[in-house]
Structure 1
Amino acid sequence: MTNEHKISVLLVDDHAVVRAGFRMLLASQPFIGDITDLNQGELVSQEYERLQPDVVVMDLSMPGIGGLEAIRRLHKQDPKAVVLVYSIHDEAIYVERALEAGAMGYVSKNSAAEVLAEAVKTVADGKRYIEEQLMPEIDDVRHNDIEHYRQVLDLLSPREFDVFCRLAKGMNAHEVAADMHLGYKTIANYNTQIKNKLRVNTAADLANIAVVLGIIKP
């Protein structure tokens, strides 16, 4: 990136107030150029192709396909796409899943405003950026005796992982279907597939796995 070039950003978040705040924050930075925002992951591939932004700033928890699946699809469309996740989730498993899907960086929404700006600039320069406070979380997971759970969770697709997280947090299939804008039968099928892959039978089993991995608090 040259000194003259300003970073173009595609911002993806389903909350209008959040998008407005992010736009204001990023627009105040002298190295940020055009900013376009979207409210759902389904639109990312098409708009990315049209706009060719330098950085995609992506939320994870969105109705529909969700951020993880949107990242996976975008990375398949263009392996050089630069995605920075900006999420309320600061648990290690989310960071790792985002990086595995193709993200270049990860920042928590609890971080200071200047951290997001720094992260955008860093990933635009082709360098990975993970917020410093998230690193101990990742290290703890890697050195703990839960490797088995992580391995079985790797069997889940990004969409299945999104469904798993909702079910583990106590949502029923109807609630998950409404939240993800999918049919009840589709979620019921995902529920069965997830339990089969993880070799568990109940929602309590899913919750236990999520607790061990730090996805939900005990």
Structure 2
Amino acid sequence: MITLLLVDDHAIVREGYRALLAKQPGLRVVAEAADAVQAYQLFKECSPDVVVTDLSLPGSSGLDLIGRIKQRCVEAKILVFSMHQNPSFAVQASRAGALGYVTKSSAPEVLLRAIGEVHAGRHTLSADIGQALALEKLGGDRMALETLTVREFEILRLLVEARSIDDIAQTLNISPKTVCNCHYLIKRKLGVTSDIELTRLAIRLNVINLLELSGSGPSASE
């Protein structure tokens, strides 16, 4: 029996794939969480075989959650199940410690197969991400994006959401000085000199889209 922790901030989404998983012999959902803090606590309490998590979570992101879980338990097996089809997110998730990455546009059987692969300790990607990763190697800007560490990628995502230095520091539990230092390194690695150029590059590389920028915040989609 493979025990699962589901992490997604949308209750309807969790209910949908909980119902799917409940029909599968050999799979059992033992806990659900709506944010990274709750998920980390439940991971400590339940010790699930596989964590299935989104990346877009309120407060600390799924990337931060993956890092915290792996820091606590290096053997933890984590599968990302996300709407993000940008291959850079898959790269960063892998660097943080996830074994698999499946997009929410994938067929149900892809998710089920990925859970089995991750539980077996094997790396797995949905086909759309695998193809995008292969094509991405041709793009210089995307290659530059891949030079960012997981922490720098997280800070970039928050910077282009127009979050303040203090807010980013609080969200990621680091000092404002660390955020400022990373901000400088991000711009240097990506070859930009201003925050406007940084935001334009982030939009072009689909790190964040215009819709998200115009409606950032938890109430935008509710």
Length-normalised TM-score, structure 1: 0.80
Partner of 1:173: 163
CA shift for structure 1 position 187: 10
4+ long deviations beyond 4 Å: 186-191
Cα pair 2:91 2:146 within 8 Å, conserved? no
Alpha-carbon shift at residue 52 of structure 1 (Å): 1.3
Say if 2:204 is the partner of 1:208: no
Q: Please, which runs of 5 or more residues in structure 1 have no aligned partner?
A: 1-5
> How far 1:38 sits from its partner (Å)?
0.8
Instruction: Tell me, in whole angstroms, the C-alpha distance in 2 between the residues paired with 1:137 and 1:196.
Output: 29
| Gap runs ≥5 in structure 2 | 211-222
Separation in structure 2 between the aligned mates of residue 20 and residue 204 of structure 1, nearest angstrom: 40
Q: Which has the higher contact order (CA 8 A, sep 6+)?
A: 1
The structural deviation recorded for 1:212 is 5.0
Q: Which residue of 2 aligns with 1:150?
A: 146
Counterpart position of 1:114: 109
User: Are positions 1:56 and 2:48 aligned together?
Assistant: no
Q: Give the aligned residue type for 1:162.
A: E
Q: SS where residue 119 of structure 1 aligns? A: helix
1:76 to 71, 78, 92: 71
Q: How many residues align?
A: 202
The question of whether the paired residues in 2 share the 8 Å contact of 1:23 and 1:35 is answered with no
Asked if the contact 2:21/2:29 (under 8 Å) is kept, the reply is no
Aligned to 1:3: none
After the TM superposition, which of the residue ranges 85-94 and 128-137 deviates more from structure 2? 128-137
* Aligned-partner SS, 2:81: strand
Give the share of equivalent positions with the same residue, in percent: 31
1:172–1:115 distance in 2 versus 1, CA, 3 Å: same
> Is the CA contact (8 Å cut-off) linking 1:163 and 1:187 kept in structure 2?
no
The correspondence for 1:196, drawn from 184, 194, 201, is 184
Distance 1:150 1:56 in 2: 24
Q: Secondary structure at the match of 1:11?
A: strand
Task: Give, as a single letter, the amino acid of the residue that structure 1 aligns with 2:8.
Answer: D
In structure 2, the CA distance between the partners of 1:49 and 1:217, relative to structure 1 (3 Å rule), is closer
**CA offset at residue 191 of structure 1?**
6.3
CA contact (8 A) 1:149 1:209 kept: no
Query: Is the Cα contact below 8 Å between 2:155 and 2:183 reproduced in 1?
Result: no
Match of 1:16 among 5, 11, 16: 11
Q: Distance in 2 between matches of 1:172 and 1:211?
A: 13
Query: Normalising to structure 2: TM-score of the pair?
Result: 0.79
AA aligned to 1:67 is: G
- Per-residue CA shift, 1:109-130, capped at 9, x if unaligned? 1111221111111211221111
Whole-angstrom distance in 1 between the partners of 2:201 and 2:94: 21
Q: Tell me which of 108, 111, 128 is aligned to 1:133.
A: 128
Change beyond 3 A, Cα 1:214–1:80:
same
In structure 2, distance between residues paired with 1:90 and 1:80: 26
Contact 1:14 1:38 in 2 (8 A): yes
More divergent stretch after superposition (46-55 vs 89-98): 46-55
